[in-house]
């Protein structure tokens, strides 16, 4: 146990600081402080000494230099069990500092506010981050508190342990300190690297929570991030790793639709999608796509969920449901199952970059934010042009295939998913899987639209589709044998559209 005798306090945010100052003052701790923090402490009726009295220098350069001085850092970094360090402190009349409370200028918030570059630069903290690193380095003797998030923990120690701390406690505070400093530096680097594009990857997330397990019960897992930024959990058990993967897939797909729509996701792929004038109609049509796979799925809609529709939704077993809002009747209907996870989706901006661990490193890419085939993007390549109804079906199918695991084929009609073939090693297998599934649920494929996530290397897929009555096709194009597929469509009165945009998803 080490007792705190001298403390340095210099903070930007002062909420919650008053009771800590009172506890230190009550224990007879000498407090050093700077600028506005010093004024705040004195306003509490507590005597404190200015850092200038310690350094012999005033704050200079408009406040850019206040604490960067050997009399400050010597008192923090001195090793109490090192006789030579002790001799030098005595020689230069430097008091040891046992507690450092400091936070950092709000750089991240200033960037997010859209401030000018000069304003952003002025919010790069120099002294504060140096104090955090110094105190954290010397955790054997010094307690460092780098943000208001640790105020409660510090206050408990001050009161319950009479201003004494253990080595284990100081090490924990040091870990938090380095978490803060590393995140701060990463944020600054990423701000500058938007223009420079140095080949370096730095991603820092300050918050994390352990999950029940990963993809399987024998795998440990942690989620890093703030889930509440995307949704509020209104009911149900703890969300799992696999639930989160399905939620991510669901949010991505529902975002493609502006009209009322319902999506059912199973293992990251859509097994039911429909858009209709009303949400209740969309639900009935989406469920009819594949009521077997819908069991245990993740559901999402893009309108407030009403009570009548919720009652029908609640007739099946599902893991998670997301909606932008729920009526009181809808919540009552859904909450009858205690484990059912009910999430209220918030307005949020999806990141424009994606990354994943790969080969011992990280691969980063732009998010696939385009669909292809919309309006003027669609390029008819056949003699027979698609009708407006066919083009609507093609675009609908293409939205779904974009979010399906490759190789993928999607069959759709009248703003409804009929079936899909997903995750196959050949495009022919994907098509055959989709046809077989559609037939198993009694769908007539005559007049249906077919979407492919990548080009057809041969004409075999359009031949198979034609034999099932499919009359329109949308695909990226780009095969050296495109002409074969086009020729077959022309001979068999099929309309085909190229998007020039592939949608592989792995």
Q: Provide the pLDDT for residue 440.
A: 94
Q: Which residue has the tokens 């599902």?
A: 318
Q: Which whole number is the average pLDDT over 72-77?
A: 93
Q: Provide the pLDDT for residue 246.
A: 96
Please return the burial class of 130, using the count of CB atoms within 10 Å of its CB with bins 0-12, 13-18 and 19+: middle
pTM score, whole prediction: 0.86
SS3 60: strand
Least confident of 232-246, 277-291, 364-378: 364-378
Confidence grade of residue 58 (pLDDT, cut at 50, 70, 90): confident
463 is written with which tokens?
């031949």
Is the per-residue pLDDT at 425 higher than 70?
yes
Separation of CA 198 from chain center = 23
CB atoms within 10 A of CB 465: 28
SS3 348: coil
Confidence grade of residue 223 (pLDDT, cut at 50, 70, 90): very high
Separation of CA 223 from chain center = 10
Q: Cβ(164)–Cβ(30) under 8 Å?
A: no
β-bridge partners, 411: 419, 450
Q: Cβ(445)–Cβ(437) under 8 Å?
A: no
* Sign of the CA dihedral with 67 first, then 68, 71, and 75 last: positive
Is the per-residue pLDDT at 194 higher than 90?
no
Q: Provide the pLDDT for residue 348.
A: 86
Q: What percent of the chain has pLDDT over 70?
A: 99
Q: Which residues are catalytic?
A: 137, 267
Q: Provide the pLDDT for residue 430.
A: 96
Is the per-residue pLDDT at 376 higher than 70?
no
Q: Which residue has the tokens 């009929």?
A: 418
Q: Provide the pLDDT for residue 404.
A: 96
pLDDT digits (tens, 9 = 90+) for 383-410: 999 999 999 999 999 999 999 999 999 9
Confidence grade of residue 373 (pLDDT, cut at 50, 70, 90): low
Q: Provide the pLDDT for residue 177.
A: 96
Buried b (16+ CB within 10 A) or exposed e, 330-369: bbebbbeeeebbbbbbeeeeeeeeeeeeeeeeeeeeeebe
362 is written with which tokens?
């990280």
Q: Which whole number is the average pLDDT over 310-332?
A: 96
More confident residue, 376 or 8: 8
Backbone angles phi and psi of 463, in degrees to 5 = -65, -50
pLDDT digits (tens, 9 = 90+) for 126-172: 888 999 999 999 999 999 999 999 999 999 999 999 999 999 999 99
Is the per-residue pLDDT at 475 higher than 70?
yes
Q: What gap in Å lies between CA 148 and CA 242, rounded to an integer? A: 34
Q: What gap in Å lies between CA 103 and CA 39, rounded to an integer? A: 17
pLDDT digits (tens, 9 = 90+) for 254-284: 999 999 999 999 999 999 999 999 999 999 9
The two beta strands, 143-145 and 30-33, are unpaired
Least confident of 31-45, 122-136, 264-278, 360-374: 360-374
Q: What gap in Å lies between CA 35 and CA 314, rounded to an integer? A: 60
Confidence grade of residue 375 (pLDDT, cut at 50, 70, 90): low
Q: Provide the pLDDT for residue 372.
A: 76
* DSSP for 220-277, written as a single string: --EEES-GGGTEEEEESSPPPHHHHHHHHHHHHHHTT--SSEEEEEETTEEEEEEE-S
Average of per-residue pLDDT values in the chain: 93
What is the crossing angle of helices 17-26 and 35-43, to 10°?
A: 70
Q: Which whole number is the average pLDDT over 274-298?
A: 96
Least confident of 86-100, 264-278, 367-381, 416-430: 367-381
462 is written with which tokens?
């359009």
Q: Provide the pLDDT for residue 351.
A: 86
DSSP class of 114: T
Helix or strand run (H / E) with residue 100: strand 99-102
Separation of CA 176 from chain center = 22
Q: Which whole number is the average pLDDT over 222-244?
A: 93
**Tally of CA atoms within 13 A in the half-sphere of 125 that contains its CB:** 27
Q: Which whole number is the average pLDDT over 29-51?
A: 91
Q: Cβ(274)–Cβ(262) under 8 Å?
A: yes
Q: Provide the pLDDT for residue 265.
A: 97
Q: Cβ(243)–Cβ(270) under 8 Å?
A: no
Q: Provide the pLDDT for residue 349.
A: 85
Q: What gap in Å lies between CA 148 and CA 12, rounded to an integer? A: 10
| Residue 268 region by backbone torsions, left for phi larger than 0, else alpha for psi between -120 and 50, else beta | left
Q: Provide the pLDDT for residue 378.
A: 77
Q: Among candidates 9, 36, 10, which has minimal Cα distance to 125?
A: 10
Q: Provide the pLDDT for residue 63.
A: 73
Q: Among candidates 187, 206, 177, 46, which has minimal Cα distance to 99?
A: 177
Helix or strand run (H / E) with residue 367: none
């Amino acid at each position: 146990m080490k007792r705190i005798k001298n403390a340095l306090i210099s903070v930007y945010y002062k909420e919650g600081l008053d009771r800590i100052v009172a506890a230190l003052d009550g224990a007879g701790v000498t407090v050093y402080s700077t600028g506005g923090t010093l004024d705040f402490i004195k306003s509490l009726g507590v005597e404190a000494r200015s850092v200038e009295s310690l350094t012999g220098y005033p704050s200079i350069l408009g406040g850019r230099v206040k604490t960067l001085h050997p009399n400050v850092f010597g008192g923090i970094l001195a090793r109490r069990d090192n006789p030579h360090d002790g001799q030098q402190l005595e020689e230069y009349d430097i008091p040891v500092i046992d507690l450092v409370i400091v936070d950092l200028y709000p750089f991240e918030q200033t960037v997010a506010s859209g401030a000018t570059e000069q304003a952003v630069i002025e919010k790069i903290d120099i002294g504060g981050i140096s104090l955090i690193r110094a105190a954290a380095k010397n955790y054997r003797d010094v307690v460092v508190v780098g943000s208001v998030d640790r105020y409660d923990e510090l206050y408990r120690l001050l009161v319950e342990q009479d201003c004494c701390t253990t080595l284990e406690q100081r090490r924990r505070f040091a870990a938090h300190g380095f978490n803060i400093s590393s995140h701060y530096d990463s944020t600054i680097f990423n701000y500058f690297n938007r223009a420079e594009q140095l080949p370096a990857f730095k991603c820092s997330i300050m918050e994390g929570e352990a999950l029940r397990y990963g993809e399987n019960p024998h795998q440990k897992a942690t989620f890093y991030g703030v889930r509440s930024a995307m949704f509020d959990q209104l009911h149900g058990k703890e969300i799992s790793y696999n639930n989160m993967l399905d939620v991510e897939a669901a949010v991505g797909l529902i975002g493609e639709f502006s009209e009322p729509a319902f999506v059912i996701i199973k293992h990251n792929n859509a097994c039911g999608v429909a858009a209709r004038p009303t949400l209740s109609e969309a639900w009935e049509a989406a469920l009819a796509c594949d009521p077997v796979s819908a069991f245990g799925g993740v559901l999402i809609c893009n309108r407030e969920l009403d009570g009548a529709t919720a009652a029908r939704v609640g007739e099946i077993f599902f893991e998670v449901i997301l909606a932008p809002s729920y009526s009181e009747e809808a919540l009552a209907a859904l909450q009858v199952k205690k484990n059912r996870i009910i999430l209220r989706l918030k307005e949020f901006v999806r990141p424009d970059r994606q990354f994943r661990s790969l080969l011992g490193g990280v691969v980063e890419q732009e998010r696939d934010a385009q669909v292809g085939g919309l309006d003027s993007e669609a390029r008819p390549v056949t003699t027979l042009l698609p009708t407006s109804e066919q083009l609507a079906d093609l675009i609908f199918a293409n939205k779904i295939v974009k979010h399906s695991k490759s190789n993928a084929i999607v069959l759709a009609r009248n703003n409804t998913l009929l079936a899909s073939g997903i995750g196959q090693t050949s495009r022919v297998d994907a098509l055959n899987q989709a046809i077989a599934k559609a037939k198993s649920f009694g769908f007539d494929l005559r007049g249906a639209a077919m979407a492919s996530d990548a080009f057809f290397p041969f004409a075999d897929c359009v031949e198979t589709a034609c034999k099932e009555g499919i009359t329109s096709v949308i695909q990226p194009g780009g095969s050296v044998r495109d002409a074969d597929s086009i020729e077959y469509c022309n001979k068999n009165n099929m309309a085909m559209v190229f998007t020039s945009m592939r949608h592989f998803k792995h």
